[in-house]
Amino acid sequence: EVRALGDSVFQEVHAFTELPDAVAEDPRWERHLQGGSKGFGWWFWKSALVNFLLKEGLLRDGDTLAYGDAGCVVNWGSEQAWLDLIRRVEDPQGADLVAFQHEHLEKGFTKGDTFAHFGTRWDSEDYGLTCQCVGGYWVVRINKRTRDFFAKWEELCANTDLISDDPSRVLNPYFVANRHDQSLLSMLVKSNRPVYERADDLHFNAGSREDTRSTCWRLPALERHRKFGIQDLAVVVLKDCGWPVTRDPRQPIAAARLNDSMLFSGAGGLQEVD
């Protein structure tokens, strides 16, 4: 599917069906890989694989990386949509990272322990009451700022109190289910004053304390997180481009919503644009 778009969009594809030894043998992931966890270790390997490619020199500063989960479909008619997304990070005045948000508020899908780790709560206007970012696809320009971002994401994923399905010590009364790596990516994005780009008048991204609906728009936070903020990192958050699946061939990616019994059959695809 990716190759069908031609080299004008993606020049290299990094696809994994098993973990490299350097990742699998890292003691940080011992508990993640013991078995029985969702997503072959709560999907920790997304951050680990990006950092593996960076350490091996397979991704270099100046490269553009588009990530997509295994099972997502890159549509044959989406060349222009992908070029538009890539242009956002390749423009010298553009973003370092393009993320997407679905329609569910963070407070329903992130553990109370995770909010506490970030020094905030489920009812924070900048975190819990904004929609969660999607972990299954994003576009990034490799540079010092995004290297720092991926290092922080991997560090968060190594913390089993946050990424696992262990009961939370800190109460979140609206908690439905943990979204693991996605929760941590989303909170990290929100730590860096993302610009929320509104698609249309019906596109909302924030809610109220008493409600689970999306009811109002949210401007960027006033400042970056003291610990998880990355100086000068430019992040833009767009309306979800992969869900719902429209069957329009121009839709850049059709998201896979895998069930919880999924086995590790593929760590996802990482498409590189030189």
Q: Is the pLDDT of residue 243 over 50?
A: yes
Residue 210: per-residue pLDDT: 61
- The pLDDT tens digits for 61-94 are 999 999 999 889 999 999 999 999 999 999 999 9
Q: Is the pLDDT of residue 259 over 60?
A: no
Residue 267: per-residue pLDDT: 45
Residue 200: per-residue pLDDT: 81
Q: Is the pLDDT of residue 265 over 60?
A: no
The DSSP string of 48-74 is HHHHHHHHTTSS-TT-EEEEE-TT-B-
Please tell me the total count of domains within the chain: 1
Q: Is the pLDDT of residue 268 over 70?
A: no
The per-residue pLDDT of the chain, averaged, comes to 90
Separation of alpha carbons 161 and 169, rounded Å: 9
> Three-class SS of residue 93?
coil
| Residue 84 CB partners (closer than 8 Å, separation 6+) | none
Range of the domain at 133: 3-273
Q: Are 101 and 133 in contact (CB under 8 A)?
A: yes
Share of the chain above pLDDT 90, in %: 78
Residue 273: per-residue pLDDT: 62
The DSSP string of 173-241 is TT-----THHHHHHHHHHTT--EE---STT---B--TT--S--B--PPPSS--TTT--TT--EEEEE-S
> Three-class SS of residue 41?
helix
Q: Is the pLDDT of residue 263 over 60?
A: no
Residue 260: per-residue pLDDT: 31
Separation of alpha carbons 18 and 41, rounded Å: 13
Q: Are 141 and 64 in contact (CB under 8 A)?
A: yes
